[in-house]
Amino acid sequence: SAVISQKPSRDICQRGTSLTIQCQVDSQVTMMFWYRQQPGQSLTLIATANQGSEATYESGFVIDKFPISRPNLTFSTLTVSNMSPEDSSIYLCSVGVMGNTGELFFGEGSRLTVL
Amino acid sequence: GDSVTQMEGPVTLSEEAFLTINCTYTATGYPSLFWYVQYPGEGLQLLLKATKADDKGSNKGFEATYRKETTSFHLEKGSVQVSDSAVYFCALNNAGNMLTFGGGTRLMVKP
């Protein structure tokens, strides 16, 4: 398994601002992902964070809106840019561990409210 | 593409009642199947998993059996407790790296 810490755990943001969420893992992992969970909804994959290269974004998500960094195998950031109330969601970092059977481990999530 | 369908909630039960949350999937090949639980205000925790047909995953009194013939992975518990109140997500991983989630089912257990 892996222990994942996310910061901030929650924040209230003003429209038009940007916020960066940090994800720290207690061990080196090859696979890191960012998910969004809109209020009362399921999880949607935003992107795969690739170490040392640009993230791979899912349909409907773009780098200008959700820039992602992954400088090493234990750390990643997700920025939510130029926020609007529609961006109010929980953003979750998740990791996959080599040798496991496909499950992912999740951080506690970062709950953003945009006013 | 792959997809997961869960019964819609909320599901409201009295304590000690029997629980079933239905989950069916569409996928090519032989995916691994998972149930995750999200308690209020928390992230997702892996509840149980099954990696091949007829496998039964179990944890904390919950069980689910991988049924390839019906493409199902229904979650069951014989006697629910108030502390089981949460949102439950069925998910699959189909030989890739990412999970595909169902819509989630909220369970409310009343004393």
Residue A79 has pLDDT above 90, yes or no: yes
Find where tokens 């039960």 sit.
B13
**Residue-wise pLDDT tens digits, A16-67:** 999 999 999 999 888 899 999 998 889 999 999 988 888 999 999 999 999 9
Distance between A64 CA and the closest CA of chain B, angstroms = 22
Residue A99 has pLDDT above 70, yes or no: no
Q: Which of A94, A100, A97 is nearest to A33 (CA)?
A: A94
- Residue B90: CB atoms within 10 A of its CB come to 30
- CB contacts of B42 in chain A (<8 Å) are 108-109
Token representation of residue A18? 């940007």
pLDDT at B9: 87
Find where tokens 């998740």 sit.
A94
Name the more confident of A39 and A101.
A39
- Closest CB to B93: pick one of A42, A102, A107: A102
Q: A101, B49: Cβ pair inside 8 Å? A: yes
CA dist A86 and A73 (Å) reads 31
The 8-class DSSP code of residue B84 comes to G
Token representation of residue A38? 């809109």
Q: Which of A104, A114, A115, A85 is nearest to A23 (CA)?
A: A104
Token representation of residue A26? 């207690």
Q: Which of B102, B51, B105 is nearest to B80 (CA)?
A: B105
Q: Quickly state the pLDDT bin for B29 (edges 50, 70, 90).
A: confident
CA distances from B20 to B69, B80, B86 (A): 19, 10, 14
Q: By three-state DSSP, how is residue A85 classified? A: helix
Residue B42 has pLDDT above 90, yes or no: no
Q: A92, B97: Cβ pair inside 8 Å? A: no
Taking a C-beta distance cutoff of 8 angstroms, is the pair B64, B73 a contact? yes
**Residue-wise pLDDT tens digits, B56-80:** 999 999 999 999 999 999 999 999 9
pLDDT at A69: 95
Q: B43, A92: Cβ pair inside 8 Å? A: yes
Burial zone of B99 (CB within 10 Å; 0-12 exposed, 13-18 middle, 19+ buried)? buried
Supply φ then ψ for residue B83, to 5 degrees: -70, -10
Q: At CB < 8 Å, which residues of chain A contact B?
A: 31, 33, 41-43, 45, 48, 92, 94, 96, 101-109
